[in-house]
Structures are given as C-alpha cells and as structure tokens.
Chain A
Amino acid sequence: MKDLKQIWKDESNGADMLDQILKSKSFKKAGENSPLLKLKRNLAIHLGYAVIITLAYALIIYYFPYWQVQACMLLLIIFNLWAMQKAYHLYKNINPNPAEHNVLEELKNHHSSFSEWQKQSLRVALFVYPFALSGGFMLGGTVGSGKSVEEFMSKGSVLIALIIAIIVLVPLSYLLAKWMTRVAFGKYIDQLKERIDELENEP
C-alpha cells in the first residue's frame, strides 16, 4: 500500500488546464453550477410566477361576479398561498455552501431539498388543477355562451363534459408533472440516494 501512496503522489494529470484557470482567474466570473443553487433560482422564479398567477385569480374574482367561479378562484388562491409558503420555506432552507458539511450531510442536504421540491410539484398538480380546470371551464363557458353559470351548467351534457374533463385531465396533469420532475431531476435524485446508501451501508 505504501507503493500505491508513492505512485499517487506523482499524479498531476490536467495541471495545465487548472493552471490556466488559476492564471486567468476565470473561476471568479464563472456562473455557479451547483444543482442546489439552480434549484434555489428555480424556486425563486416559481414564486414570482405564483405571485402573478395569484393576482390574476384575484382579478378574476373581482371582474367575474359568478359565485361558482369565485369559489374556485378563492380555493386556488388558498392553495397557491399554501404552496408558496412551502416553496419559500424550502427556498430559505437551501444553503449551498459545501464548506459547512461533511460529504454525507451534503448529499442528504441535496437529496432532501430536491425530493421536497418534487413532492411540492406533485401536490400542486393534485390540489390546484381540479379547481383551476373547473373554474376555467365555467368561466370559459359563461363568457363564450353569454349565459350565467347556472344556465350554462344546467345542461346535463355540460356537467358530464366537466366531470369527464376532470377525470381525464387531472390524472394526466399529475402524470405529466411527475414525468417532468423525473426528467428534470429524477436521475440526479436517484444518484444522490445511491451515494447516500453506499456510504451508510455498513459492510
């Protein structure tokens, strides 16, 4: 083993590239590529959109005096505020500073943040989409037909269409959200879990 330590001392592959980076000090200007920071930026953007969307719901409540639509929008605002509070909590807790933790803590820190983000995205898909769909359906129908919500919804076929839309589109949206979070960070979350298990597994 002493021989291997000696051999390891001679390793200097890639020194030219590192010297060049140090000489140019380009690392100071380089954008941070930490996945955790990317997630933090992503959450900040989502929070921004959530605020705008919540304001839009409030405007709908103000301008469209149909209690059914208003009830849906009010529920959406409540869910949005709840989701925003959860997202903000996650945002505040993300601390991308690799100097502060040991390797296992850092891996767990990344894993829990990304898993929580994934859960939040799915919760939003499950709780927000049915009400957004119902509200949108009724709003679109009343504006398009020029009738009141009661008149528009009084037809049995319209009610069935709404139920079918909810039955088909909500699970579809949920699966789509699940697929999108898998594509974005699924493999990465699996990798982190694998590394955590490797380290925690006592031989």
Chain B
Amino acid sequence: MQKEAAFMEQIRENKGIILKLVGLYANDEEERKDLYQEILFQAWKGYSGFRGDSKFSTWLYRISLNTILTSQRKAKRVDYRESVEDVHITDEQEAAKNENTRLLRQAIRSLPETERALITLHLDGYSNPEIADIIGITVNNATVKLHRIKNQLINQLQPQLS
C-alpha cells in the first residue's frame, strides 16, 4: 500500500511527461487513453525495479518513450485536436499562451516520430549527453540532429507565435 502511494505521488508530480509525450503521438482520443493506460501499467510493473539510480522523471521518460515508440498505433496521421473540455481559456493572455502551446505541439507533431522524442527531451531541459543516453545514440549524433530540428522549428514557428 505504501509502495502504491509512493508511486502515485511520483506519477502525479511527473504527469506532465506523460501528458506531453502522449499528446505528440496519439492520433485520437482512444489512442490517447490506451497510451496513458499502457505507460502507467508499464511504470507500475517496473516500479519495484526502480532503484533511484536516475531521477524518477528520467526513468518515466524512458518508459514512456519506449512504450510509445514500440506501440502499434494507427498508421493514419490525423491531426489530433483537444476536446473543448480540455481547454480553459480565462483571458487574452491565457488564450495566447494556449495558442502558442498548440502551435508548438503541431509543429513538433509534423516531425518524424524519433525526432519528436529528441526535441521533447531537449525542451524539457535534458542535456545532449543525457538525451543521447536515453535514446541510445552518440552525443555527436544527438547534437547534430537537435541543431537541425531546432532550426526547423524556429523557422516554422517564428512567423506564427504571438
């Protein structure tokens, strides 16, 4: 029971990781729900093996990415848009913020699946060696790829961001 409480606490603290990653890969509501369930299931199953050698967030990132990138998802690319209940617009500033995150999400979704993983890790503050370790590529490869992806995103988003 204590283990479960600790797990739930850690997941709540880091749920942003799951939200962001699933939002970038799920093609519809059903797929989104399936991926949430699967990631949480895998995390819960592997939790007893979590020794704390790395941060919980890094461990959860690894599980989430591995689960998503090896899942059998629909091949069709539907531009998933959030349901009305998910969006809570309170004022103009908030609306602009929501619009910016939506634009960024859409721009990242237009990238190949593996590049989405790289840029998300970068945007969440991971260093290039950390990203290389999580993904399993060389630091040089990660650095070059990220440089190209960042340029692409900036070029794509600069005219649109408010």
Contacts and interface: CB of A to CB of B under 8 A. Distances in A.
Interface string A90-115: 00000001111111111100100000
Interface residues of A, number: 49
Nearest to A21: B36
Interface stretch (A12-20, A116-124, A129-137): A12-20
Nearest to B39: A27
A198 interface: yes
Contacts of B97: 7, 10
Interface in A1-44: 1, 3-5, 7-8, 10-19, 21-22, 26-28, 30, 32-36
B74 to A, nearest CB: 11
Interface centre among A13, A16, A97, A188 (most CB of B within 10 A): A13
A11 B105 contact: yes
Interface of chain B: mostly helix, strand, loop or mixed: helix
A13 B94 CA distance: 14
A144 interface: no
A35 B72 contact: yes
B37 A200 contact: no
Interface residues of B, number: 72
Contact of B16 (A12, A22, A34, A188): A12
A167 to B, nearest CB: 37
Given A17-B32, A34-B67, A98-B46, A7 B101 contact: yes
A195 B120 CA distance: 16
Contacts of A106: 66, 69-70
Nearest to B115: A198
Given A7-B104, A106-B66, A28 B124 contact: no
A51 interface: no
Query: 9 nearest interchain CB pairs?
Result: A104-B136, A102-B136, A98-B66, A27-B40, A99-B46, A8-B123, A106-B66, A30-B37, A198-B114
25 contacts: A4-B153, A8-B104, A11-B101, A11-B104, A11-B105, A12-B16, A12-B19, A14-B19, A15-B86, A17-B33, A22-B12, A28-B41, A33-B38, A34-B67, A35-B70, A35-B71, A99-B43, A100-B46, A102-B133, A103-B66, A103-B117, A106-B66, A191-B75, A198-B114, A202-B144
